[in-house]
């Protein structure tokens, strides 16, 4: 099941994507749960238990509910447009990306022995087709990083590796847009990665019941049609259960938390000379089975 957040007829809604681009309003299925009508995915995640997800799928395949519209009729937003707290990110979690960044970043760590975490403010995160707007007075070295994003589905602390996957609600594509000059100047990653519009997410959340193995997915990025990144999520240095177990050992994870799992090689900074994003560039980030993001760069 793919869960969307969109505007239709001047109203923001959570929806479900069916076959032939049919879009259903989530609240048309509200008899399947007790409680309120969610207006955001953050509100919906606790209601969308495995049982409710299964019932929604059955209701759609049985034509019990009519679609609201089609995908062509909506404006997509980031599935979680206003995360309740900063997005948790991993740095250097693909070996080939560590190699391309060797000697180019301030942290001096080549292949990490413990996961490198940082956070990224995305308030709001932008949608699959929104513009990445760059402030030219702040940065001239804007880069892309396609990443597999995890969305946490239930609260947990001290989560074991063997239980970790059951804490995931679903998966989406992220672009961890990064201002390299700001990262270098400030010797820390938060500001350079938290510029407004620097976090495209989406195009929707794919529920974990539809992703047989999230660690065997092709992950790629193109700039103006030129393939720059082309990896597989099986190359993660710290895999998904390790990340969830490690993070949650002393830090509670909550429904709606977003974790970006790192990027494979091929970022602009890795080229000689570097290939940073320019005004008008179109960046496409995709992951097998999860869809893709297409964001135009606008430098002001």
DSSP-derived 3-state class of residue 95: helix
String marking each residue 243-282 x if it binds Mg ion according to CB under 5 A: --------------------x-------------------
Residue number with CB closer to Mg ion (176 or 222): 176
Among positions 132-151, residues that touch Mg ion (CB under 5 A) are 145
Nearer to Mg ion, 194 or 263 (CB): 263
What tokens appear for 257 in the block? 């938390």
Interface mask (CB under 5 A) for Mg ion, residues 205-244, using x and -? ----------------------------------------
Figure out which of the listed residues 28, 81, 143, 176 binds Mg ion, where binding follows CB under 5 A. 176
Are the beta carbons of 39 and 14 closer than 8 angstroms?
yes
CB of 285 to Mg ion, least distance (A): 11
In whole angstroms, give the CA distance from residue 51 to residue 209: 11
Within 13 Å of residue 110, how many CA atoms lie on the same side as its CB? 4
CB contact at 8 A, 221 and 200: no
In angstroms, what CA-CA distances link 275 with 189, 224, 266, 291? 19, 12, 10, 25
In whole angstroms, give the CA distance from residue 83 to residue 159. 22
Q: Which residue is nearest to Mg ion (CB)?
A: 176
Encoded one letter per residue, x for contact with Mg ion by CB under 5 A and - for no contact, window 84-123 reads ----------------------------------------
**138 touches 194 (CB < 8 A):** no
| Smallest distance, Mg ion to C-beta of residue 88, A | 11
Nearer to Mg ion, 88 or 211 (CB): 88
Q: Which is nearer to Mg ion, 81 or 145 (CB)?
A: 145
**Which among 41-49, 169-177, 205-213, 238-246 is the span making contact with Mg ion, rule CB under 5 A?**
169-177
Q: Are 3 and 205 in contact (CB under 8 A)?
A: yes
Min separation Cβ 260 and Mg ion, Å: 6
Residue 217: partners with Cβ closer than 8 Å, 6 or more residues away = 148, 211, 232, 233, 287, 288, 289, 290
List residues binding Mg ion (CB under 5 A): 145, 176, 263
């Amino acid at each position: 099941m793919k869960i969307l957040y969109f505007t239709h007829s001047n109203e923001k809604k959570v929806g479900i994507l069916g076959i032939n681009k049919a879009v259903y309003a989530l609240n048309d299925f509200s008899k399947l749960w007790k409680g309120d009508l969610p207006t955001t995915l953050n509100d919906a995640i606790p209601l969308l238990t495995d049982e409710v997800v299964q019932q929604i799928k059955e209701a759609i395949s049985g034509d019990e509910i009519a679609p609201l519209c089609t995908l062509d009729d909506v404006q997509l937003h980031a599935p979680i447009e206003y995360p309740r707290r900063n997005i948790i990110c991993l740095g250097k979690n693909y070996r080939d990306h560590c190699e391309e960044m060797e000697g180019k970043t301030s942290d001096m760590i080549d292949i990490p022995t413990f996961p490198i975490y940082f956070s990224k403010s995305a308030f709001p995160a932008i949608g699959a087709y929104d513009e990445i707007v760059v402030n030219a007075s702040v940065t001239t070295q804007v880069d892309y990083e396609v990443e597999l994003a995890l969305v946490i589905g239930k609260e947990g602390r001290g989560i074991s590796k063997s239980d970790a996957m059951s804490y995931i609600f679903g998966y989406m594509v992220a672009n961890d847009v990064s201002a390299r000059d700001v990262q270098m100047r400030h010797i820390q990653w938060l500001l350079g990665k938290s510029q407004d519009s620097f976090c495209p997410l989406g195009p929707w959340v794919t529920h974990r019941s539809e992703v047989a193995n999230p660690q065997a997915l092709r992950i790629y990025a193109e700039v103006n049609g030129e393939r720059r990144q082309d990896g597989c999520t099986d190359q993660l240095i710290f895999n998904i259960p390790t990340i969830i177990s490690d993070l949650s050992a002393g830090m509670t994870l909550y429904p709606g938390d977003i974790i970006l799992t790192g990027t494979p090689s091929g970022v602009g900074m890795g080229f000689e000379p570097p290939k940073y994003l320019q005004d008008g560039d179109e960046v496409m980030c995709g992951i097998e089975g999860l869809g893709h993001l297409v964001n135009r760069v606008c430098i002001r």
